[in-house]
Structure 1
């Protein structure tokens, strides 16, 4: 099978890291793989994954076109069309809206081509400034032979907002590689405890909530530290730094840049936190639990589905510094609870969120869509 993936860029993010695993799996299964990026530019200090994709066995192309974004994208559509006609993939699989848009244009001119898209998020009001455009361009996604959604929440959004028929929407959770229980030594506790968050610097990720939770935590545990890290595509990290200084927390809160070693970062932590106000999935939460790290997340779907409250971690009211502070204090006060959550979280990831399971589901979908297409073309 020949599979072409389309992505916005080779910059490292949740969607792109998932793509690396997908490419590696497909190449090992004997498929020919080509990955095309709309632009060579990465933003926010994100690591460029092109070398990893090529090491995994994929050919790569950059479809960059000079000019302002509108003309750039039109140029990319034309280049993708030419590349698709030349390479003739059995499946074209796009990730993220700009790439989906490009793939849908190619589908208009090549209706016989199988196109699958992955929706990594629900683009809703109050979180995305361009949310209003999606109801008007839903017809683009309705051209897809199938759409993978990373959670039931995203599936409902695609059905209700984009108008995609429910039978063409397939929920496949992201997965992470999970081995033996990774914690060989206990994480720091008590006054040496470290709370951390690894996420893109943007308002919806809620890092400001964590900073504002720290004064209450420090009243009980004066030496506890908070470490934040992630890519910074829009300069929001400076807003967080300003908040840290405003609350006189410079000695207690470390605001780092992009992290290219998530597991190394997680190994530093006593507690991992993700206080997002909206999420498509939350792959980093699975990474944290699989690494044996107790987690505290916002009580929103799908985070409160990924985390079993009181068993694999705790949930707290989104946007509430007090709720997150109380959750941190509860875990810091109770070492046996932290220990049980480390074990339970790792076990839960093995059962529900393993990378092997996710990749097998994608492979099965490819085969089903191809089989359905073959039956249609033969008149069956």
Structure 2
């Protein structure tokens, strides 16, 4: 194939800062090679170090050279969707400025572990691949990630480190084979949209911590095998959309669900209160938080707390505990970084 005959579309955009700089400085460029039926990449006609956006989507590429990726040191947006890629180069870890990576619509079975070095990454789209797992440590290093889209894959689980993505706003894991979700989701203090729908016969339960996602606006758990929603969902004050159709739900019952989100939340909240009062078992931590006003704003006197035997004169609400300033004390990089966890 004579690539020199192909038309290379180069969209050059100069930032205001660079317009004010001397003309001899090289400007950052956007290179568009999308939709050209390429089976391999042509020799670059520009210095790879000045490319800030590279679009090679909608081609027939089966691989990307390691050497090429390693030289894209100023790359911010990398779009390789809708190709025939079986893997992403390990040298992706060299792209320290990368903010958007779109690898959807390929044949990927795994993502390279070096992706955790892309610490500026804000958006990762890996939809419509054949992923069976994500890198175990993905949540320990990608602390700037705001959107993680991995729908239409073959994922059995999300790594436990996912719960440390404290800046995450969108998590889309529908159309997989998820058996469960990480237990400590309450760390996702900025999560607004959670979609784990259409895992069909595999996903049967939701962790209680879903009810501690204080920023959650949309929750879609439709078309799974869930029989009971956790009572803690009644605590989601910002929740505006809840999709539960296609589940064999027993709790809440159908007649409650048909009355809308407000009634569902009220039902679950009352159920949580009732379960707390009637349970002969030792009160769980979630029950304690609810009783002392963390969820429902209940007023309990200091004397009552001391009578119960809880020394909580330095009591903080869940909102306070989950604030970014307070959570810094318990950041995953500080407590759970691989450097600490896997020392010999």
- The TM-score normalised by the length of structure 2 is 0.28
Q: From the CA coordinates, give the structure whose radius of gyration is larger.
A: 2
TM norm structure 1:
0.26
Q: Give the number of the structure whose residues are more often helix, by fraction.
A: 1
